[in-house]
Structure 1
Amino acid sequence: MISSPLWLPATLMAGATQAWRTAIQRRVSHSLSLNGAGLVRYLYGIPFTLALLGLYRFSFPAPWPTLQPRFLLFCIAGGLAQIIATNLLILAFSHRNFVVGTAYSKTEAVQGAILSFLLMGERLAALSWAGVGCGVAGVMLLSTGGKRMGPVDFLRALGQPAAITGMASGFFFALTAIGIRRATQQVGGDDRILAALIVLCITVLLQTLILGGWMLARERGEIGRVFASWRVSGQVGLLSALGSACWFTGFATAPVALVRIVGQIEVVFTMAFGHFYLKERMRRSEAIGLILVVTGVLLALAGAF
């Protein structure tokens, strides 16, 4: 159920911000471990998420909303699912078949649509379902990097480690979205933006404690490198906070699957950045993939309105 038209610009902004953040975070990942690169997103995002909440409260003063008993449980579930999903995606890349791992991780939109229906009873119109399928097909085509991989090739690759971890990553990303949406529903009042920002602040704090605690126990030496990278990591934290605020607002105001399929517009921003800024040549398969992604977004929107 869509509770506010704000979900659409918030989701589009989330896609653009995430593409930007990913480009910068690549610089950090070269000097930090897997968990260290993940920690900077949460640790350096804390001051910016708190600033966003404070700025919103100052601009729109209102009584503090009540939090339902299961609020913290859903924040923990969503935050932990995101940590697992991110690590599984990187693990998929470490296997031999990078293409298959990437492609199958993009089944997140389909898995999210199914899980949100089973767990929350969210229903999509037929056009929106067509948009989900079209968008996933487009992202899969983009993931092939110009290589020919038909439907039979993808089915045969199901047993590969990259495919298994890729789909598992998509599954946990879908659970992340559902956990965040359920957490925002545990915040009282009609202000869904405030609910999203409250959930964001608590979730980021919990993620920092969970991942930071793990690293203190297992990768203590990496903590110093995380703090030493503050110049670049601070940028990652800022963009992560802005992007997550937009994602959480989308999840708070619209069905999970709808937000995720529109959010795949991120790949369009990424490809445009590579083509116009980095002067990279666009392959024919990439152009077709982009057309499919945009068509999927338009179909999803047509089914929503």
Structure 2
Amino acid sequence: MKRLQFLLPVLAVILIILSSAVYIVDEREKVLRLWFGEVTAEITDPGLYFKIPMFHEIIKYDDRILAMDTQPLEVTPLDDRRLVVDAFARWRISDAKTFRRAVGVGGVDGARPRLERILNAELREVLGSVTSGAVLSADRVSLMNRIRDQSRSEAASLGVEIVDVRIKRADLPTQNLEATFERMRAEREREAADEIARGNEAAQRVRAQADRTVVETVSEAQKNSDIIRGEADAARNAIFAGAFGRDEEFFAFYRSLSAYEKSLVGNNTSMVMSPNSEFFNYLKNGLGTEGSASAGQTPAIGQ
């Protein structure tokens, strides 16, 4: 019983020592084994490994592709039109030993600022060698590939591989946006004014053509109307002339009756004229049986 009580603490100590002497390498990790701070082995194969407790130090790094977003960066292309650029990068640790020597105990967090400085330098260099139109166009993929390729050589000294670089946003600085919008607005207003002027000019031409067509149509109709009316008057006069030539007395009687009809109208019509006027020839004949008015008297005719 006493021996068992003695063995239990010993077994516990042995288990603790064994557990601290064993470590596992995941397939998503790169592992460095250090002996008093000096790298003695780089382990990339997953599995179970042993170390000497208190003498060996195990450093693990993520072997997957990591993401990094850069802070907004102001660049000046060839045309001196400043742009604010946001970019992001995909990177991974390619050489754990070099990475350890370059960044020390900072690890991934210590590597990010250094990678960002490298990317910012390449962004300024590449984007500064082209115009802003090339940066804002859909053909900027070649520019991003140049930034990636040029960043790789710098990042290799850190034991890092730049997998990809992309530009998320390329805009004008805030202080320049309003001026740019004003220029765009003025340009659109000028184009609108030009379109309105051209529309008014076209409308004026159409209106003038319509007015001319109206005048020509009315003139043509008036001319035809005058011709028809003249032909009708000529036909009427010919009929009258024919009738007059056949019976001159009847024609004179008809004309007198027409004159009486047009002149003796209304309820209070009065006429004063000489009794010897030819206008009363047929009226005088009509009053012959009752006697004529005395000579020198002016008859008054009322209806």
Structure (1 or 2) with the larger CA radius of gyration: 2
Coarse TM-score class (shorter-chain normalised): under 0.3
**TM-score when normalising by structure 2:** 0.20
Write 1 or 2 for the structure with the bigger share of strand. 2
**TM-score when normalising by structure 1:** 0.20
